[in-house]
């Protein structure tokens, strides 16, 4: 089950600074557990950001990103806009969260 | 560690405001500490403890255990259900149990009384799994609600004074194959282990910095550590017998640190490299 995601969006001139934290184990697939068995890879492969439904950013991720990733970007947007972030991982799980710019 | 550096590098690439990390190669101690400080600032904004705190708030409100009750009536010392600022005043003496309790032991009392979850179940749970994972999340929520508050531990009760003296004795008690005490590393100014400067917990500034920044998220291993976990690991590093979760020994040490840090600021949950 997907953990929480926290998005903060702050107006900065004509841009909005978006900071997001995503709960995810981000297992590389190269680690072993205490009994020596490999831990299956489990990481986010794609992050999609959209403003009012229009995609503004897609990112391709891999197992090289840390556990519970932090993601920050600036985008042209204004107060009242709805910013949506979605991630999809290699197991096909996904999580989507929307915030309104205040 | 490599994973973390990659993530921070990615963050810098994406953010226009981020400063490039300075991996100072020179031996200058001050420059090195400054570089670490800068790295800490970079990671502080995205403290993953937030994620645990979000889940913890949910757990606080959700009925659980044999009695199927929430923790909303739990009294952390400021009255039933009051969470804001409660962690900054812990440990404290609780007349209803007749004991000095820290955050985790008080939560165990609440879990037992309100929810019917046996204390021993939490104590026996492995670290960061099952009942202890639930505890970690609830702790993250409660300490977040004390962020920025003044450390204000009430030392007026004789039991608190008793615990302080016990904690002090433990702090200076040398044990284990290395004949170490807490004071060996934490009793002098300017000590460090590898690149980590160690606070002098016998002084106000050091105790305020040390006590006020735990519980914390450790970036290097992606783990959230409560104070109980932190203390347990100190014993482990001492190579001595590990204390029982929530035992008087751990609470006494907490009273010693918190009282020395009284008046400092709670920066909880902290973030550590």
Chain B residue numbers touching A70 (CB-CB < 8 A)? 7, 11, 43, 45-46, 48
Q: Has residue A35 been placed in a domain?
A: no
Distance in angstroms (rounded) separating the CA atoms of residues A58 and A76? 15
Chain A residue numbers touching B222 (CB-CB < 8 A)? 66-68
Residue in chain B closest to A74 (alpha carbons) equals B15
Nearest to B257 by CA among B198, B207, B203, B206: B207
Are B222 and A28 a contacting pair at CB < 8 A?
A: no
Q: What ipTM does this complex have?
A: 0.71
Residue in chain B closest to A71 (alpha carbons) equals B11
Chain B residue numbers touching A39 (CB-CB < 8 A)? none
Residue A10 belongs to domain with CATH number? 2.60.40.10
Distance in angstroms (rounded) separating the CA atoms of residues B37 and B22? 10
The number of domains in chain A is 1
Q: How far is A43 from chain B (nearest CA, A)?
A: 13
pLDDT at B194: 79
Question: What is the residue range of A45's domain?
Answer: 5-29+40-101
| pLDDT digit string, tens, across residues A1-35 | 467 898 989 898 999 999 999 999 999 999 999 89
Q: Has residue A18 been placed in a domain?
A: yes
Active site residues of B: 234
Q: What global pTM score does this model have?
A: 0.81
Binding residues of B for substrate: 230
pLDDT at B14: 40
Q: How far is B40 from chain A (nearest CA, A)?
A: 14
Residue in chain B closest to A64 (alpha carbons) equals B3
| pLDDT digit string, tens, across residues A41-76 | 999 999 999 999 999 999 999 999 988 898 999 999
| pLDDT digit string, tens, across residues B156-172 | 999 999 999 999 999 99
Q: Has residue A47 been placed in a domain?
A: yes
Q: Has residue A34 been placed in a domain?
A: no
Q: Has residue A66 been placed in a domain?
A: yes
What is the residue-level pLDDT of chain B in tens, covering all 273 positions? 444 444 444 443 444 344 444 444 446 778 877 887 787 777 777 788 888 998 999 999 999 999 999 999 999 999 999 999 999 999 999 999 999 999 999 999 999 999 999 999 999 999 999 999 999 999 999 999 999 999 999 999 999 999 999 999 999 999 999 999 999 999 999 888 877 789 999 999 999 999 999 999 988 888 999 999 999 999 999 999 999 999 999 999 999 999 999 999 999 899 887
- The domains located in chain B, with CATH, are 48-271 (1.10.760.10)
**Cis status, amide bond into B91, omega within 30 of 0:** yes
Q: Has residue A96 been placed in a domain?
A: yes
Q: Has residue A95 been placed in a domain?
A: yes
> What is the SS3 string spanning chain B?
CHHHHHHHHHHHHHCCCCCCCCCCCCCCHHHHHHHHHHHHHHHHCCCCHHHHHHHHHHHHHCCECCCCECCCCCECCCCECCCCCCHHHCCEEECCCCEEECHHHHHHHHHHHHHCCCHHHHHHCCCCCHHHHHHHHHHHHHHHCCCCCECCCCCCCHHHHHHHHHHHHHHHCCECCCCECHHHHHCCCCCEECCEECCCCCCHHHHHHHHHCCCEEECCCCEEECHHHHHHHHHHHCCCCCCCCCCHHHHHHHHHHHHHCCCCECCCCEEEC
């Amino acid at each position: 089950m997907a953990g929480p995601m926290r998005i903060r969006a702050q107006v900065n001139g004509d841009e909005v600074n978006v900071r997001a934290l995503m709960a995810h184990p981000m297992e590389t697939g190269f680690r072993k557990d205490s009994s020596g068995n490999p831990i299956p890879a489990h990481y986010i492969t794609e992050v999609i950001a959209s403003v009012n439904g229009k995609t503004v950013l897609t990112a391709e991720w891999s197992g090289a990103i840390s556990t519970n990733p932090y993601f920050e970007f600036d985008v042209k947007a204004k107060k009242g806009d709805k910013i949506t972030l979605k991630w999809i991982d290699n197991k096909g799980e996904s999580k989507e969260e929307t915030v309104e710019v205040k | 560690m490599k994973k973390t550096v990659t993530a921070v590098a990615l963050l810098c690439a994406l953010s226009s405001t981020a400063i490039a990390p300075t991996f100072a190669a020179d031996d200058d101690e001050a420059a090195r500490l400054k570089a670490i400080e800068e790295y800490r600032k970079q990671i502080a904004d995205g403290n993953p403890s937030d994620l645990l705190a979000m889940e913890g708030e949910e757990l606080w409100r959700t009925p659980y255990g044999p009695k199927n009750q929430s923790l909303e009536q739990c009294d952390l010392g400021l009255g039933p259900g009051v969470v804001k600022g409660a962690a900054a005043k812990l440990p404290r003496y609780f007349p209803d149990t007749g004991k000095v309790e820290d955050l985790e032991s008080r939560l165990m009392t609440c879990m037992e009384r309100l929810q019917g979850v046996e204390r021993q179940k939490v104590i026996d749970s492995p670290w960061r799994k099952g009942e202890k994972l639930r505890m970690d999340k609830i702790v993250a929520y409660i300490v977040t609600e004390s962020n920025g508050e003044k450390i204000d531990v009430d030392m007026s009760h004789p039991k608190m004074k008793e615990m302080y003296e016990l904690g002090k004795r433990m702090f200076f008690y040398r044990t284990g194959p290395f004949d170490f005490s807490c004071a060996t590393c934490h009793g002098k100014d300017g000590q460090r282990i590898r690149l980590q400067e160690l606070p002098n917990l016998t002084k106000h500034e050091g105790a305020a910095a040390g006590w006020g920044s735990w519980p914390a998220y450790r970036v290097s291993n992606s783990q959230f550590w409560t104070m109980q976990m932190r203390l347990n690991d100190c014993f482990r590093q001492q190579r001595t017998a590990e204390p029982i979760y929530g035992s008087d020994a751990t609470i006494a040490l907490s009273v010693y640190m918190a009282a020395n840090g009284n008046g400092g600021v709670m920066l909880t949950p902290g973030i550590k490299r």
